């Protein structure tokens, strides 16, 4: 009997080790041998695709901001790492392009969309650029 095809997937990157949905989490997932990663993606007010699970930054930054209501530049001023551990202080909320750049050859990314259909065209553009 042939075993089923399986992929070891880092949920939000290696989120047990590094702050979820950050470049540190994705890089760590690849380093420990994951076949794939899963990330959550939303649009900022100015249409930039960023990797964050929650619609609000409160849980991961301690600051109450709605992703859809803030510009990318203001989002970049927040610290998305210190809540997990002091060694991750200063970790930024990555863009889709930054996350895609971490994916090694022959590995996979599962892109979970957290917004409506308005994300599809910019996402296709980013995927095309990264291939």
Give yes or no: 108 in active site.
Answer: no
- Alpha carbons 110 and 29: distance in angstroms, whole number: 13
Question: Per the structure block, which two tokens stand in for 131?
Answer: 């291939």
Estimate the share of the chain in helix, then strand, then coil, as percent rounded to the nearest 5: 35, 20, 50
Give me the catalytic one of 53, 106, 108, 128: 53
Q: Is the dihedral of CA 118, 50, 104, 37 positive or negative?
A: negative
Give yes or no: 53 in active site.
Answer: yes
Question: Per the structure block, which two tokens stand in for 70?
Answer: 């803030």
Name 54's Cβ contacts closer than 8 Å, sequence gap at least 6. Answer: 60, 67
Residues classed as catalytic: 11, 53
């Amino acid at each position: 009997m042939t075993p089923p095809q399986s992929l070891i997937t880092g949920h939000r990157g290696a989120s047990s080790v590094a702050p979820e949905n950050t470049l540190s989490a994705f890089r760590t997932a690849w380093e420990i041998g994951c076949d794939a990663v899963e990330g959550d993606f939303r649009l900022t007010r100015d249409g930039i695709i960023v990797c964050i699970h929650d619609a609000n930054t409160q849980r991961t930054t301690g600051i109450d901001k709605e992703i859809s209501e803030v510009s990318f530049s203001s989002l970049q001023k927040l610290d998305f790492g210190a809540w997990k551990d002091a060694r991750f202080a200063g970790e930024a909320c990555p863009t889709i392009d930054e996350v895609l750049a971490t994916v090694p050859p022959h590995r996979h990314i599962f892109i979970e969309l957290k917004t409506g259909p308005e994300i599809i065209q910019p996402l296709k553009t980013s995927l095309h650029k990264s291939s």
